[in-house]
Structure 1
Amino acid sequence: MTDDTGITEAEKVTPSGPPPAPEQLHQLDFLLGRFECVFNNVVVDPPTTVVTYWETRKTLNGHYYEMDITMPTGQFSARWIFGWNDVEAGFLSYYYDDIGSQGTSIAPGWQDGHLVFTGQSNYFGHRITNRDDFVIVDENHVLDTSYVLEDGEWELAGTYDCRRI
C-alpha cells in the first residue's frame, strides 16, 4: 500500500537522529578550546605583530569544528569552519571574516607531523591561493604558518604561535 506520495510503508524510513560524527574529525581535537596567538604578519610593510584569540568548539553534533578568531582591539573577527569530507577522504575548511575575506581549503590529512590546508581565498578584492601549515608542538601549543602562492612560489604570509589559555 502507498500513501499520496507514492512511498510504500516498507520504503518509509523512521528518523533515528543524525549519524555519528566522523571519527577522522578527532584528528582536529588539538584546535578545541581557547588559545592566545601571537600573529606575525609579514605581508604588510612594515611587518606587524599582534595578539589574536582562537576559540574552537564542536558544532552540529560534532560534525564540524567552528573557530572564532578575534583581536582584543576589536579591529577584526573571523570564523573558520573545519569538517571531514567522506567523498574526498580529507579535511575541508571554510573561512570568512568581517573585512570581506572568505575562502575554502582542503587537507589530505597529517603528513610528517604537518596538517596542511591549501585552497583559494578572496582577500582585499584579490583571488589568492593560500596554505596553512599546522604543527602541534605539544597539547597546549600549536603553530600555524600561512603562505600565499606568488609567481609559482610559496611566500610566507605570517605565523601564528598559539598557546592554550
Structure 2
Amino acid sequence: MALTVSPVNAEPDTRAEPPRGRNPLPAPPQIRDLDFLLGSHTCDYTPPPGGKPAVLKLNTKRALGGHYLYTDATLEPGGVVGRSSFGWNPVDRTFITQYHDNWGSSGNYTSPGWKDGHLIFKGPLTQVINPNASGETTGVKLDLRDDYQVLGPGHFKDTTSFTFPDGSTLQGSYDCRRQ
C-alpha cells in the first residue's frame, strides 16, 4: 500500500506567520484610537429623507496581532452582510479602512485621525444597487464620508454622507451602543 500526502494531511504552511509566541513587530500605538469600535454594538440607522430606518449589528475584534480591527456587520432589513478592516498606514500616517459586502459593494477609505472630537474617513465606494447572482449588475460610484463621534462609554455615532457623480449628497446616521 502506497502512502500519499494530500493537502488534508500535509503540514500547514506557516511561512506567513511569525514564530509561535513572538510577534516580530508590536501593533502601532495609533490603533488604540479605534478601541471605541471593539465589541458588539447595535446601531439604529436614521436614513436620508425618503429612506427606511434599519438596524445594524456590529461585532469588532482585534486581528493580526492587534495591527488591525475586523468588523462583521449585518443590516436588517435587507440582509446585507459586510466586513470592514481598520488599520494604521505607517507610511502615510493615516488610518485605513476597506469594506466589502455580500451584494458586491466595496470601498477604500482613509482618515488623518481624530480632530476636534471627530474621526472622519473619506474615499470611494462602489455601491451595488440591484444584487444579482450572475456576477454582473448595476451600481454607482460614490464618494463616502464617515464621521465618527464618541458620545460616551460604549456609545458612538457615525454620520455617513454619500456624494453621487452629479454632486448631490445624501446623509444618514448610525447611533451605536455596545451590547
Q: TM over 0.5, yes or no?
A: yes
Tell me the amino acid that sits aligned with residue 29 of structure 1. D
CA 1:129–1:112 in structure 2 vs 1: closer, same or farther (change >3 Å)? same
Structure 1 unaligned spans of 5+: 1-14
1:1-165 matched pairs, under 5 angstroms? 17-42=23-48, 46-71=50-75, 75-124=79-128, 125-150=139-164, 151-152=166-167, 155-165=169-179
SS in structure 2 opposite 1:61?
helix
Bigger proportion of residues as strand? 1
Cα distance in 2 between the residues matched to 1:18 and 1:129: 37
**How many Å apart are 1:72 and its aligned residue?**
5.4
SS in 1 for 2:65: coil
SS of structure 2 residue aligned to 1:84: strand
- Whole-angstrom CA distance in 2 between matches of 1:52 and 1:31: 13
Secondary structure at 2:24 match in 1: coil
Amino acid in the other structure paired with 1:91: F
Structure 1 residue 148: deviation in Å?
Answer: 1.6
Among all aligned residue pairs of Structure 1 and Structure 2, give the percentage whose two residues are the same amino acid: 40
Give 1:36's aligned amino acid. Answer: T
The residue that corresponds to 2:14 in the other structure is: none
Distance in 1 (alpha carbons) for counterparts of 2:58 and 2:23: 31
Offset at 1:17?
3.5
Aligned length: 149
Compute the TM-score of the two structures, normalised by the length of structure 2: 0.77
| Alignment partner, residue 11 of structure 2 | none
Specify the alignment match of 1:3 in structure 2: none
Residue 8 of structure 1: aligned partner: none
- Cα-to-partner distance string for 1:14-62 (whole Å, 9 max, x where unaligned): x76330001000000000001010012227xx31111111110000110
Give 2:46's aligned amino acid: N
1:12 aligned residue: none
* Letter matched to residue 69 of structure 1: A
The gaps in structure 2 that reach 5 residues or longer are: 1-18, 129-138
Q: Report SS of the residue matched to 1:26.
A: helix
The aligned residue for residue 136 of structure 2 is: none
Cα contact 2:23–2:65 (8 A) shared by 1 = no
